Amino acid sequence: MTSPDILPPQIILVRPQMGENIGAAARAMLNFGNDAMRLVAPRDGWPNPAANAMASGAGRVLTDARMFDDVDAAVADLGYVYATTARMREVSKPVLSPQEAIADARARIGAGQKVGILFGPERAGLETRDLIPAQAIITLPVNPEFPSLNLAQCVLLLGYEWARQSGAALPDPHTVQEPATRLEVQKLLERLTGRLEEAQFFWPEHKAEPMRRTLENLFYRLDLSEPDIRVLHGVVRTLGRDKHDGSRG
């Protein structure tokens, strides 16, 4: 996000296996402006060339990543820890949607707490013992018949949820076109109905008034901008002119 209002959570990858997935997670973090990565005992050691190759533009997330031997060490300085799990478990901890978890995390960070989110290894996910230091569980709202997300996708979705709630990089309202004034619409309608009258469009007589009203309603309702009005003036002028008089206007 352009100007993050508060610092995002620590993203903690627990015993990640493939270097490629660590690199992809780094990219996913940076896509939403988070560069605070922690790694717990990556399977293939560290640094990992495959991770760097995959991260490409997000390499500095890997360079700055902090390394830990176990989950306890990785969360030691944090005040509140969330653990992501794909499947429901027998845990006596609150289970939150990403939306609920990020709202909670934002409140905590805003109050000066340091928070982190644990992500498990690719195949098996977090083990029950990894969940011990976590205060809450995050479960993604995936299709139970096809739940498998990869590591970077999980990181991406939490990052998106963070960006969504921080209102970062919201679309610029100025890209929406300024509407034409009602007077400009009136003038277009005058020209249009004038030409249509000449061409006996409002016919039969007793339907003329409702037809006229339908047309007016239509053009007033449309979200016409000033440039739109200009284009339509040209269209009406061109179509309405007598083909045999040869004038352009």
Indicate whether 53 belongs to the interface with its own copies (CB under 8 A).
no
Among 64, 141, 213, 220, binds its own copies (CB under 8 A): 141
Question: Of 11, 54, 157, 185, which one interacts with its own copies (CB under 8 A)?
Answer: 157
Going residue by residue from 5 to 44, which x/- string records binding to its own copies, judged by CB under 8 A?
A: ----------------------xx-xxxx-----------
- Of 50, 67, 73, 168, the one binding its own copies (CB under 8 A) is 168
Nearest to 161 by CA among 177, 184, 138: 138
Shorter beta-carbon distance to its own copies: residue 41 or 151: 151
Taking the complex as a whole, the smallest distance from the CB of residue 232 to its own copies amounts, in Å, to 8
- Per-residue tokens: 245: 């008089």
Q: Going residue by residue from 174 to 203, which x/- string records binding to its own copies, judged by CB under 8 A?
A: -xxx--------------x--xx-xxxx--
Please state the three-class secondary structure of the chain as a single string: CCCCCCCCCEEEEECCCCHHHHHHHHHHHHHCCCCCEEEECCCCCCCCHHHHHHHHHHHHHHHCCEEECCHHHHHCCCCEEEEECCCCCCCCCCEECHHHHHHHHHHHHHCCCCEEEEECCCCCCCCHHHHCCCCEEECCCCCCCCCCCCHHHHHHHHHHHHHHHHCCCCCCHHHCCCECCHHHHHHHHHHHHHHHHHCCCCCCHHHHHHHHHHHHHHHHHCCCEHHHHHHHHHHHHHHHCCCCCCCCC
Shortest distance, CB of residue 171 to its own copies, whole angstroms? Answer: 4
Contact string (CB under 8 A) for its own copies, positions 94-133, x = contact: xxxxxxx---------------------------------
Interacting residue with its own copies among 48, 139, 180, 189 (CB under 8 A):
139
Nearer of residues 68 and 212 to its own copies, judged by Cβ: 212
Min CB(48)–its own copies separation in Å: 20
| Closer of 186 and 225 to its own copies (Cβ) | 225
